[in-house]
Structure 1
Amino acid sequence: MTQIEEAEVQKLLQDNPHLKKYVEEVEKKMGRPQFYSKVPRDVKEQEYPNLIYTTKGVVFIHIFKTKEMDRPEYHAVTPELNEVEKQKKDIILEMMYERAHLKTNIKTQDELRKAIKEVLDEITVIDENAEGKIEKSKGGKIKVSSVERMDIEYDITKDIVGGGPLEPFMRDPYIEDIHIITGENVHLIHKVFEMVKTNVYIDKSWANTFSQEFAEKIGSPVSEGQPIADGTLPDGSRVNIIHSKDVSLKGPTMTVRKFSETPISITQLINWGTMDAGIAAYLWLCLQYGRSIFVCGETASGKTTTSNAMFVFIPPDKKIFSVENTPEVKVPHAVWQQLLTRSTGPKEGHIDEGDLLRAGLRSRPDYIIPGETRGIEGRVVFQAMQTGHPVVTTFHAGSVTKVIQR
């Protein structure tokens, strides 16, 4: 059962005051929402949906539609710091910066999240009587209530490690695409409700700063001279940023394509109607016996999802060689040579897919997987097939005829 029992709902409301306050306001306007741990696909058919579902941590999502609305809206319910909490956060941040040099050898985002939590444990102490007051303990620690600690930790983590104002969407497993246009509310592609408008707004006054900070996170800085950046977040999400107003008339824009932490299984694709069992069995035979496969379709049609689901059909003792601009391919094989192109730094140091594919032909792979074939690297792909190397790749085209034409 994906709907949450009432006793558990009450515990959620008790543990998350920001959620309780939000629900009380919603009840006055449109009645009490239903609570879910997983969103059933049939709720999309409801004329006026009104539901809240859980994500990671303290972020909750409310999707609703009223008689006055043409389409459902998506509201992220997150902790918001009051004035005292903001002051405590500033003091805590100063103390954290003083101790930052003590935390060394942090290499991953998870390690950074853990380090932030450890430092917070060192410089704060829980005291429920300290809520709304700025006080220090005898040991010099900042006194915070359990709710204040939860709110401040979320706020610091989302700004330093997470996606800033986009953090709720990064935690939501039902989001496929995030569309950010300066001066407008963020829009999302939801796996159940499709395109939805959110309550997150990107203000023009800080859009430039936001896009530059986000570009730094993907390792592809943007500027007026180099306004377009592509890259990948640590969780595998693909990011495209267009920064300059000369190019993007409304101001900086950004698109984030999220990918599942665990690849969708082939049986799930069959259940969704992407393919039937007969086609899946045919693909199994093809990959079992070294046939090349092009997965073709239009933008956001599920090419990469389908490819990742198929890779389990490649015998586990085979060597995989993958080449991508951004890491999207996920294979379960032990011997997987995963290579990425390089387009930053001096031009003479740039490495494209063609360079890597040519190198791959000399490394004795059993399967070559170019993440996407779209340019001159197509020649190398066909050369690989002609020399007996099976290839699995994706290709942008709306029909078989258009594949051949391209």
Structure 2
Amino acid sequence: MGLLERLAMDKQDEIKPGKPVSIHAQKDDQKEDLYKDLKLKIFNKVVEEVSISHDNEDDMQAVEDEIRKIVNEVIESEAKYLTRNERNTIARDIINETIGFGPITPLLNDPEINEVMVNGPNQVYVERNGKLELSDITFRDNAHLFHIIERIVAPLGRRIDESSPMVDARLPNGSRVNIIIPPLALNGPTITIRKFSDNPYTVNDLIRFGTMTAEVAQFLKACVEARLNIIVSGGTGSGKTTTLNVISSFIPEDERIITIEDAAELQLKQAHIVRLETRPPNVEGKGAISIRDLVRNSLRMRPDRIIVGEVRSGEALDMLQAMNTGHDGSLTTAHANSPRDILSRLETMVLMSGMDLPVRAIREQISSAIDLIVQQTRLKDGSRKITYITEVSGMEGDVITLQDIFVYKEEGFDNNGRIKGRLVPTGLKPGFMDKLLKTGVVLPADMFSAQ
């Protein structure tokens, strides 16, 4: 039995059909019952008459037009007293239930919303302009929420049930979705959707947002052109992937780029790009392809650049070895709260590879592989800033040495309560300046002057 049929049966259990009466003549509770009754009749008619295809946008538009036609036909015959707004509301609800994601569809269509978080049927939060807000959207009950979850995962060829209660996947539009259900989610089914922008941010956008300055953008562009190995570090939701995407846009057009991600989020515009994505295990627990598998395979694909969306585990060792064996100019991200912290995290990840390496050997690998750390932070006001650009300058004894090139300095708050600050040079020139000069990159003499 398909989703639409089950939804129709749920609605039939909830609603007893009544004689069509003008909604305007009823009290609020009666009006609500009549509304449900009318929507049920329309829904049943849609189930019977509409063939739903998700092959392309033209198919979806045809389905939407057909649904609106049915809505108008039923209303004209049974509820002609409905206002235009009420008719449009019914049509929108039916469309959202059949070809959309139910109540959360308007949130996903809102360009100001970056993330949608469903915590059970009665609580839906959104992130808008970096701030979390409780929306007024709810589901009827857990069953309704489960139906929407099925609508999300079924086209992806994924399964979610008690034996496999978690799904992490990419929607057809590129948005990333994570779903976890009971018994693991105690408050009911939970959905987290990080929306995918049709128009990815550019370097000019990040300069306008204050994430970086024009001088820092020029510096990062020079580092990418000089084939430095760069890691973008930051906490969850700090904007690492966005910054990685912008930095990757500096890669020259004539290079072959291999991107490796758990769920493809990078949106590079260069012509010669090969995009690789991991695969979860099947129902029998077999067939998984990990980031580490793809990193190893990418070395046989004649890459000029390897970009790993995020390193979390043993693939860090393979990434470091690639950087140290001729695949310079590679880029990746990782979770850490400071440049020093990312070094400790990389050590831990290398040990997770199963290789029994001495700590000093691991640190030597890191210090020789990583040239630059770009630290990204989500500030208390919700804004996302690059707070450190730090050079990995070598080793002293058993300790990896770091040198901050640019540091973000807070300067108080503006009239709207937003944090004011600037990413300023520390006065130290990076030790890889000779490498920049050898590749023909010339930076302004005062770029690194302390302010």
Tell me the TM-score normalised to structure 1 length: 0.69
Aligned to 1:163: 101
- Structure 1 counterpart of 2:265: 328
Report which stretch shifted further, 202-211 or 358-367: 202-211
Say which SS state the counterpart of residue 248 (structure 2) adopts: helix
Greater mean deviation of Cα atoms: 335-344 or 150-159: 150-159
Deviations 1:183-208 (A, max 9, x none): 5421111116x111111124544244
Match of 1:258 in 2: 195
Cα distance in 2, alignment partners of residues 81 and 344 from structure 1: 47
Per the alignment, residue 289 of structure 1 pairs with: 226
Moved more, 211-220 or 125-134: 125-134
Is the alpha carbon distance of 1:259 and 1:118 closer, same or farther for their aligned partners in structure 2, counting shifts above 3 Å?
closer
CA distance in 1, matches of 2:244, 2:176: 17
Aligned to 1:50: none
Q: Does 1:214 align with 2:152?
A: yes
Indicate the residue corresponding to 2:116 in structure 1: 178
- 1:397/1:403 contact within 8 Å kept: yes
Cα distance 1:220–1:118, how it changes in 2: closer, same or farther (>3 A)? Answer: same
Q: Secondary structure at the match of 2:254?
A: coil
In structure 1, what is the equivalent of residue 62 of structure 2? 115
What does residue 287 of structure 2 align with? Answer: 349
Is this contact kept in 2: 1:321–1:338, CA < 8 A?
A: yes
Query: CA 1:333–1:114 in structure 2 vs 1: closer, same or farther (change >3 Å)?
Result: same
CA-CA distance at 1:160 after TM superposition: 2.8
Asked whether the 8 Å contact 2:142–2:189 carries over to 1, the reply is no
Higher mean alpha-carbon deviation, 222-231 vs 181-190, is at 181-190
Offset, 1:147:
6.1
Partner of 2:330: 391
Over the matched positions of the two proteins, sequence identity in percent amounts to 33
Gaps of 5+ in 2: 1-23, 25-32, 346-451
Q: How does 1:217-296 map to 2 (within 5 A)?
A: 217-245=155-183, 247-296=184-233
Aligned partners of 1:242, 1:128: CA distance in 2, in Å? 39
1: CA distance between counterparts of 2:208 and 2:80?
Answer: 55
**1:148: Cα distance to partner?**
7.1
* SS of corresponding position for 1:284: helix
Q: Which amino acid aligns with 1:107?
A: D
In the TM superposition, what is the alpha-carbon distance from 1:112 to its structure 2 partner?
3.6
Residue segments in structure 1 that go unaligned for 5+ positions in a row: 1-20, 22-79, 135-143
With over 3 angstroms needed to count, the CA separation of the structure-2 counterparts of 1:121 and 1:321, relative to structure 1, is same
- Letter aligned with residue 55 of structure 2: K
Q: Secondary structure at the match of 2:111?
A: coil
Counterparts of 2:65 and 2:59 in 1: how far apart (Å)? 10
Deviations 1:124-161 (A, max 9, x none): 87799668249xxxxxxxxx997677445433332233
SS in 1 for 2:268: coil
1:81 positional shift: 9.3
Task: Measure, in 2, the Cα distance between the counterparts of 1:81 and 1:350.
Answer: 50
| 2:38 is aligned with 1:89 | no
- Residue number in structure 1 paired with 2:275: 338
Count how many residue pairs are aligned between Structure 1 and Structure 2: 311
1:337 counterpart letter in structure 2: V
Maintained 8 Å contact 1:179/1:186: yes
1:350 partner letter: A
Is the CA contact (8 Å cut-off) linking 1:323 and 1:370 kept in structure 2?
Answer: yes
Distance change >3 Å, CA 205–CA 299, structure 1 → 2: closer
- Whichever of the two has the greater Rg, that structure is 2
Say if 1:365 and 1:157 are closer, same or farther in 2 by CA, change over 3 A: farther
C-alpha change, 1:205 and 1:363, in structure 2 (3 Å) is closer
**Higher relative contact order (Cα pairs below 8 Å, separated by 6+ residues):** 2
Q: In the aligned structure 1, how far is the partner of 2:221 from the partner of 2:139?
A: 46
SS state at 1:314 partner: coil
Aligned mates of 2:89, 2:181 — CA distance in 1: 31
Tell me, in whole angstroms, the C-alpha distance in 2 between the residues paired with 1:89 and 1:125.
9
